[in-house]
Amino acid sequence: MLDLASVQNVFRSVYGTDPRLFSAPGRVNLIGEHTDYNDGFALPMAIDRRTVVAAAKRTDRKVRVTSNGIAKSEEFDLDRPGPKRRNSWLDYIEGTAQCLEMRNIKLVGADLFIESDVPSGAGLSSSAALEMSLALAMTSLASNEDFPRVELALAGQAAEHAYVGTMCGIMDQFVAALGQTDHALLIDCRTLETTPIPFAVPGAVILICDTGVKHELATSQYNRRRAECQRGVELLRRVLPDVRALRDVSVAQFEQYGETLADPVRKRCRHVVTENARTLDAVHALSEDDLSEFGRLMVLSHRSLQHDYEVTCPELDLCVEVATSQEGVYGARMTGGGFGGCTVNLVKREAVGPVSDALRREFERRFGKRPEIFASRASQGAIEH
Ligand code: GLA
């Protein structure tokens, strides 16, 4: 956890005033991958790595922002929106502020200092952590009113689309805004309804294994997968006219009509249709405290992402192979968009040491470097400290 007192001190030394402190977490997705932009179900949890925003109100509409290590200091004016897609961290910050204003949330100027221990480029949604900590800070400085968290999340997603140029779904911003301690968050990505699912598992640990592979292919391949899913919907509508998104196709219907599609569209759709079913089954397994079943579904999810959706990579596949061959591992899978980043492992507490050792050893043997491994409990979404 970041040292809040030192964040406060740096803020004082930069701006000479006392700040309010806000933060939002990174996330791992437990199951429900590449379902959010298909109106489906996702089950992420917030992790205990956070981005902290220290913020003080100004009397004008200027925003000054500085950070420890993230990027150089910047300044912008809420009344004179700058260009989009500058390839700088301002895309996230100014983008989120402008998208909040577009949702009729009137902001005030602010001095900001930002620090984070969410690794960036690791598929743990450091960008959503930045957007949601900033959105909470800016809206809290502007008014005592509690703006609906869903509004903050949608503004963050809009910033990704318009300012950053990433056509992401809503999972990352939703869990960064709405996650709860010791709970995973079931998101219905059509209705935007969220349900906290108790996930404090006595005797078991969520272990995150960062392959260190930066997902460079991710953006182009992500957009291609989205288009393939869309194409699948168009084709399936010929036989199932009520289908609006892959969410509307049951596993039984897909078994009946899937053969009318050609690959790769057929495989992409099969992943999404079966992944939605797995996600709801996984929630049911948790309600029965059945971690073995939950873990089995995690592994099936990985296989589907590997062979049908084709978004894994050799490093992710090896980590899952190694983990699932160890004693005390309920399940393992890649998490996030894919093409690199992290795996998420559900592991018996007493097996954490041996499993981590095996992952480091086998990964080093094959790829000549060590993965970063850390445990996390399910933590709280965006908060003021
Ligand atoms: C990225 C996106 C999310 C989601 C995942 C895949 O993390 O930001 O919206 O689509 O990929 O599940």
**Ligand 1 centroid distance, CA of 323 (Å):** 23
Write the residue with the smallest CA distance to atom 1 of ligand 1: 337
Hey, which residues are catalytic here? 172
pLDDT at 186 over 70: yes
- Distances, alpha carbon 123 to alpha carbons 24, 157, 184, 211, 214, in Å: 16, 16, 18, 10, 8
Q: Which atom of ligand 1 is nearest to the CA of 32?
A: 12
Per-residue DSSP letter, 88: S
3-class DSSP state for residue 175?
A: helix
| Cβ 360 vs Cβ 371: under 8 Å | yes
**Cβ(171) – ligand 1 distance below 6 Å:** yes
Query: What's the confidence (pLDDT) of residue 200?
Result: 85
**Ligand 1 centroid distance, CA of 358 (Å):** 28
**Cβ(338) – ligand 1 distance below 6 Å:** no
Instruction: Using pLDDT thresholds of 50, 70 and 90, give the confidence band for residue 72.
Output: confident
| Cβ 64 vs Cβ 112: under 8 Å | yes
Residue 52 main-chain phi, psi, to 5 deg: -110, 135
Tell which one of 34, 167, 171 to mutate to probe ligand 1, the residue whose CB is within 8 A of the most ligand atoms. 171
* Rounded Cα distance, 94 and 78, in Å: 8
Write the residue with the smallest CA distance to atom 9 of ligand 1: 169
Write the residue with the smallest CA distance to atom 2 of ligand 1: 168
**Cβ(154) – ligand 1 distance below 6 Å:** no
Instruction: Using pLDDT thresholds of 50, 70 and 90, give the confidence band for residue 240.
Output: very high
Query: What's the confidence (pLDDT) of residue 69?
Result: 66
**Ligand 1 centroid distance, CA of 125 (Å):** 9
The pTM of this model reads: 0.97
**Ligand 1 centroid distance, CA of 168 (Å):** 6
Q: How many CB atoms lie within 10 A of CB 275?
A: 26
Residue 281 main-chain phi, psi, to 5 deg: -65, -35
**Cβ(336) – ligand 1 distance below 6 Å:** yes
Beta strands at 204-210 and 372-376: parallel, antiparallel or unpaired: antiparallel
pLDDT tens-digit readout, 257-267: 999 999 999 99
Say how many CA atoms lie within 13 Å of 203 toward its Cβ: 7
Tokens of 30: 């437990």
Q: Which atom of ligand 1 is nearest to the CA of 337?
A: 11
Q: Which atom of ligand 1 is nearest to the CA of 170?
A: 9
Residue 163 main-chain phi, psi, to 5 deg: -95, -40
**Ligand 1 centroid distance, CA of 365 (Å):** 30
Across all residues in the chain, what is the average pLDDT?
96
Query: What's the confidence (pLDDT) of residue 41?
Result: 99
Helical residues (DSSP H) of the chain, grouped into ranges: 4-15, 90-102, 126-142, 149-159, 171-178, 218-236, 251-257, 265-287, 291-307, 314-324, 352-367
pLDDT tens-digit readout, 285-295: 999 999 999 99
| Burial of residue 186, with CB atoms counted within 10 A of its CB: 0-12 exposed, 13-18 middle, 19 or more buried | buried
**Cβ(168) – ligand 1 distance below 6 Å:** yes
| DSSP letter for each residue of 2-27 | --HHHHHHHHHHHHSSPPEEEEEEEE
User: What is the rounded average pLDDT of the residues 125-140?
Assistant: 98
